[in-house]
Structure 1
Amino acid sequence: MKRREAIQQAALMMGGLLSAPTLAGAMGRITNTGPSVVVTAEQETLLAEVADVIIPTTTTPGAKAAGAEKFIVRVMRDCYPKKDQDSFYAGLAKLDASSKTKFGKGFTELDLPQKNEMVKQTMTDDKPFFLRMKELTTTGYFTSEIGATKALEYLPVPGQFNGCMPLKPGQKTWAL
């Protein structure tokens, strides 16, 4: 199974496993009415680069092309309390700082193998940040137009409901 296929299957299985704030954000709700972290352009660029390592461009556009970073910023601002936002953006800063320590340059300036290495390192060094980043990236990607129409099978006007339809070999999973 290829990485993209694994992420697609995981995204479909995560339907019941998404955190409440992420699920609220995917539905366009605002649950955080308190203060929020102000995100800089540099942080947004860094989010886009990390998301693009999680879901890279292959035969279909990746997370960066889908604008997953904009989804992440919006959901963090609108659905997570400030304490969680501070923790998340501290994890992002830690990833960038670790890149500077290890390679002498920020994460956005690294080449792809170095970015992959830093994300793998973050999976163990800062697992809570990585899991939240992965959850937000996959949700943002598969709820975007690109994710729903390019990575998943999409039928804009569905016909009758067939609860048990076999998939043809190589057919993409259906978008919901």
Structure 2
Amino acid sequence: MTTISRREWVKGMALATLGSVAFYDLTAQIKPVFPSSWKPMVWTKEQDQLLSDWVGIIIPESTIPGAVSLGVPLFVKTMLDDCYQPAAQEAFRKVLDGFRTSLESYLKKPWVQANQAEKEQFLFTMSKGNLGPDAQKAMSTLKGLTIQGYTSSEEIMVKYYHYVMAPGFFNGCAPVKKS
């Protein structure tokens, strides 16, 4: 068995660390971060407004802030863009684009004239699958992302779940009791 000096060990570890960092940098330059088929979703103003309306219907404003005022529509858009396959994104977009016409044919009145209860009932009908499997899947996705975004927002986590980032506090000026 041979012995190794501390100096040789430190030199070997430094070379190994530098080599792994250099190798990682070279491989990161070669591979793209996103696949070539990935393209971010482009949202129109109408789609943005409709998504905000959907999210606002799922968790409306009350004495506590609703989903829209906590920025959940932006969370939903980011999650759809970053975490879902292009086919799922297109299916969601197709349901979103056909939403107003579906609601107007279901209620026999325009979107702006429908009250909150009628909109809620229509979304409930969508989630039950009465308007097709694509609409049901889109509503399931939307409800899940809305709840996730709402319950993980800073306002709800701190004020209602009483979440503390680093529990346990250090008070350097506390008097010490002698025993």
Letter in 1 for 2:115: D
Aligned to 2:21: none
User: How much has 1:31 moved relative to structure 2?
Assistant: 6.7
Radius of gyration: which is bigger?
2
* Structure 2: gaps of 5 or more residues: 1-32, 170-179
Query: Match of 2:164, as an amino acid?
Result: L
Q: Match for residue 110 of structure 1? A: 114
How many residue pairs get matched? 130
Deviations 1:99-148 (A, max 9, x none): 22224323x65321121111111112332111100111011112222232
Matches of 2:143 and 2:120, distance apart in 1: 14
Structure ranking higher on relative contact order (CA contacts 8 Å, 6+ apart): 1
The correspondence of residues 1-176 of structure 1 with structure 2, limited to 5 A, is 34-101=38-105, 102-106=107-111, 110-124=114-128, 125=130, 126-159=135-168
The RMSD of aligned alpha carbons is 2.3
Distance 2:90 2:103 in 1: 20
Q: Deviations over 1:76-106 (max 9, x none)?
A: 1122121111111112223322122224323
Q: Which amino acid aligns with 2:55?
A: A
- Consecutive unaligned residues in structure 1, runs of 5 or more: 1-29, 161-176
Identity of paired residues, percent? 26
Partner SS state of residue 63, structure 1: coil
Deviation at 1:32, TM superposition (A): 6.8
Asked if the contact 1:141–1:147 (Cα under 8 Å) also holds between the matched residues in 2, the reply is: yes
TM-score of the aligned structures, taking structure 2 as reference length:
0.63
1:61 match: secondary structure: coil
**Closer, same or farther in 2 for the Cα pair 1:78/1:128, shift >3 Å?**
same
Decide whether the 8 Å contact of 1:51 with 1:63 is kept in 2: yes
Q: Distance in 2 between matches of 1:109 and 1:144?
A: 31
